[in-house]
């Protein structure tokens, strides 16, 4: 079993030249291509019904976006990670760039773009669960040209992590360039077989799996059905119940530690960022998922997305 120190931290990072006689380490273990948003969060005792008004908490603003979240989750754990994305020319853009830089994410490919930054409006219920509306802003302008300009960098990374808060054509272009693709199909949408075929793994939660597969089902059965769609491997996340890993010929259930959930915002991104990093370090998929489940569990113990993401010492006891 992995522990929060020692094996959990993985091998010490190599210098740019690696060990003598070995292939030089890439400049980044993983690259995230994706969205950068300001999360506007209001806590409520219950969500309003159509036409109803409820009183919530004071508005809190946090750095977020699925791409940025995954990059921060990995960086806090020790990854060498770069983010390819766009932020706007508004005050949120400056706020988001500063937050990412403070967590050690490389921002050389984060482009300042005239227009509004992406924004997510999030309501968090008394049970810690959330509902989210995303306004993409300049995230919608991340383009195939951006991917082409970064093609050598993307090809050099061990893992490229992708989501769907960026245009689908951009995501597909990035997948064509990557050595290994970790793809979180969120928000869920129809995607081409070409993209599914290079996912290793495809990562979805129960709701996303149900939309892909036409309805809910037993988790291990759903995981096998996801694999049958064409990805090289698949991970079905189950919230407090952990995850199920599907690889050719093998399905593995991975339990989660029990924690008291304060806010589940960004937990899936924490999971995926941790998963992508451990795969980049050479873990097998089941072991990487076991680590990522603990990171996801740790992230729900505090409010916000990136602000809740753990450092290695925060995983002790999980």
- Kindly indicate the confidence band of residue 22, based on its pLDDT and cuts at 50, 70 and 90: low
- Angstrom distance (rounded) from CA 47 to CA 50: 10
What are 277's two structure tokens? 């990093």
- Angstrom distance (rounded) from CA 302 to CA 264: 9
pLDDT at 130 over 90: no
The answer to whether 130 is annotated as binding is: no
The whole-chain average pLDDT of the chain stands at 91
Residues annotated as part of the active site:
269
DSSP the chain: ---SSGGGG-SPPP-TT-STTSPPPPS-SEEEE---EEEEEEE-SSPPPTT--------EEEEE-HHHHHHHHHHHHT--EEEEEEEESSHHHHHHHHHHHHTT-B-TTEEEESSPPEEEEEEE-TTS-EEEEEE-GGGGG--HHHHHHTHHHHHHSSEEEE-SSS-HHHHHHHHHH-SSEEEE--S-----HHHHHHEEEEEEEHHHHHHHHTS---HHHHHHHHHHTS-S-EEEE-GGG-EEEEETTEEEEE-------S--TTHHHHHHHHHHHHHHTT--HHHHHHHHHHHHHHHTTSSSSGGGPPPGGGGTT-
**Which pLDDT belongs to residue 25?**
65
pLDDT at 47 over 90: no
- Kindly indicate the confidence band of residue 24, based on its pLDDT and cuts at 50, 70 and 90: low
The answer to whether 205 is annotated as binding is: yes
pLDDT at 7 over 90: no
What is the reported pTM?
0.88
The answer to whether 299 is annotated as binding is: yes
227-279 confidence digits (pLDDT tens): 999 999 999 999 999 999 999 999 999 999 999 998 888 999 999 999 999 99
- Angstrom distance (rounded) from CA 11 to CA 257: 24
The answer to whether 214 is annotated as binding is: no
For 154-165, what is the mean pLDDT?
96
For 157-184, what is the mean pLDDT?
97
| Distance between first and last Cα of the chain | 11
**Which pLDDT belongs to residue 126?**
87
Residue spans per domain, the chain: 24-36+67-117+137-311
**Which pLDDT belongs to residue 1?**
30
The answer to whether 139 is annotated as binding is: no
For 135-140, what is the mean pLDDT?
97
Residue 231 CB contacts under 8 Å (≥ 6 apart), including other chains: 183, 196, 197, 198, 199, 200, 201, 202
Please give the CATH number for the structural domain made up of 24-36+67-117+137-311.
Answer: 3.40.1190.20
The answer to whether 34 is annotated as binding is: no
- Kindly indicate the confidence band of residue 13, based on its pLDDT and cuts at 50, 70 and 90: very low
């Amino acid at each position: 079993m992995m522990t929060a120190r020692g094996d959990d931290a993985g091998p010490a990072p190599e210098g740019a030249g690696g060990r003598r006689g070995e292939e030089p380490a890439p400049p980044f273990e993983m690259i995230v291509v994706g969205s950068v948003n300001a999360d506007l969060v209001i806590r409520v005792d219950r969500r309003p019904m159509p036409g109803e008004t409820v009183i919530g908490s004071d508005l809190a603003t946090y750095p977020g976006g699925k791409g940025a979240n995954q990059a921060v989750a990995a960086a806090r754990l020790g990854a060498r990670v770069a983010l390819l994305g766009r932020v706007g020319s508004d005050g949120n853009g400056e706020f988001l760039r500063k937050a990412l830089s403070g967590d050690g994410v490389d921002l050389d490919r984060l482009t300042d773009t005239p227009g509004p930054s992406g924004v997510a409006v999030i309501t968090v219920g008394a049970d810690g669960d959330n509902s989210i509306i995303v306004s993409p802003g300049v995230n919608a302008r991340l383009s195939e040209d951006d991917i082409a300009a970064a093609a050598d960098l993307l090809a050099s990374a061990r893992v490229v992590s992708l989501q769907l808060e960026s245009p689908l054509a951009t995501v597909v272009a990035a997948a064509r360039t990557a050595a290994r693709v970790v793809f979180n199909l969120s928000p869920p949408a129809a995607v081409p077989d070409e993209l599914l075929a290079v996912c290793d793994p495809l990562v979805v939660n129960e709701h996303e799996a149900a939309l892909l597969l036409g309805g809910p089902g037993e988790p291990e059965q759903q995981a096998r059905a996801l694999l049958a769609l064409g990805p090289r491997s698949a991970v079905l996340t189950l919230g407090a119940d952990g995850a199920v890993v599907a690889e050719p010929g093998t399905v593995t259930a991975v339990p989660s530690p029990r924690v008291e959930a304060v806010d589940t915002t960004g937990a899936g991104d924490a999971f995926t960022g941790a998963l992508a990093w451990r795969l980049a370090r050479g873990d097998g998929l089941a072991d990487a998922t076991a680590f990522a489940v603990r990171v996801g569990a740790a992230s729900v113990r505090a409010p916000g997305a990136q602000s809740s993401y753990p450092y290695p010492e925060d995983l002790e006891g999980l």
